[in-house]
Amino acid sequence: MQDMTTPSLRRRLSSMLYESMLLFGVLFISGWLFSTLLQQRHALYLRHALEAWLFLVLAAYFIWFWRHGGQTLAMKTWRFKLVGPDGRPIGIWRAVFRFLLAWLWVLPGLALAAALRGQHWMLVLIPAGNVLLWALTAYLDPQRQFLHDRIVGTRLINAAPPAKAKAAEPKNA
């Protein structure tokens, strides 16, 4: 029987920060491959195609890891995983829906900043406020799950530490 308790908000947010550092490398290499293979010599040339490509790379990254073991690299490090409401691995459509809903962490704040014609620090503060409000939605849930997890029907749970291989004991002859 696995532990179905929810990791602390601090651990989940720390994992997200670590995940963003890992994704910097993934997106950097993906962008470099796109630019090299399509001979992109100017930042505005094929800009929307590059954005779509990077969105698909992010989707593939998260959906793959959530479907195969329920853990991204950062989630493995912080020892928690994503499961369905019954504790079993999630299906493809649930993973896709969760990925799309997770964009609510930042998109409303970015849209509000654009609508208000925010400049300078407002372009940081408004989306940061959105992230803070979204994180606080965990306190509205009795099991401390984020709002997008509640909507999709997924759960973040503590994962058992990796089993350590016992060293073979030498036999005395």
Indicate whether 131 belongs to any domain.
Answer: yes
Indicate whether 168 belongs to any domain.
Answer: no
Instruction: Tell me what pLDDT residue 120 has.
Output: 86
Maximal CA-CA distance, the chain = 80
Q: Alpha carbon 24 to chain centroid distance? A: 13
Instruction: Tell me what pLDDT residue 117 has.
Output: 86
Indicate whether 112 belongs to any domain.
Answer: yes
| Residue range 136-156: mean pLDDT, rounded | 92
Indicate whether 4 belongs to any domain.
Answer: no
| Residue range 23-38: mean pLDDT, rounded | 93
Q: How many domains does the chain have?
A: 1
Does residue 167 surpass a pLDDT of 60?
Answer: no
As a whole number of angstroms, the distance between CA 160 and CA 171 comes to 31
Q: In which band, very low, low, confident or very high, does the pLDDT at 21 lie, cut at 50, 70 and 90?
A: very high
* Residue 156 bridge partners (DSSP): 82
Residues constituting the chain: 173
Q: In which band, very low, low, confident or very high, does the pLDDT at 170 lie, cut at 50, 70 and 90?
A: low
The residue among 167 and 71 whose pLDDT is bigger is 71
Does residue 77 surpass a pLDDT of 80?
Answer: yes
Indicate whether 171 belongs to any domain.
Answer: no
Indicate whether 45 belongs to any domain.
Answer: yes
Q: How would you classify residue 70: left for phi > 0, otherwise alpha for psi between -120 and 50, otherwise beta?
A: left
Does residue 1 surpass a pLDDT of 60?
Answer: no
Indicate whether 2 belongs to any domain.
Answer: no
Instruction: Tell me what pLDDT residue 163 has.
Output: 67
- Residue 38 is given by DSSP the state T
Q: Look at 96-100, 104-108, 160-164 and tell me which has the smallest mean pLDDT.
A: 160-164
As a whole number of angstroms, the distance between CA 163 and CA 160 comes to 8
Place of tokens 């005395």: 172
**Domain that includes residue 80, residue range:** 9-158
Instruction: Tell me what pLDDT residue 138 has.
Output: 92
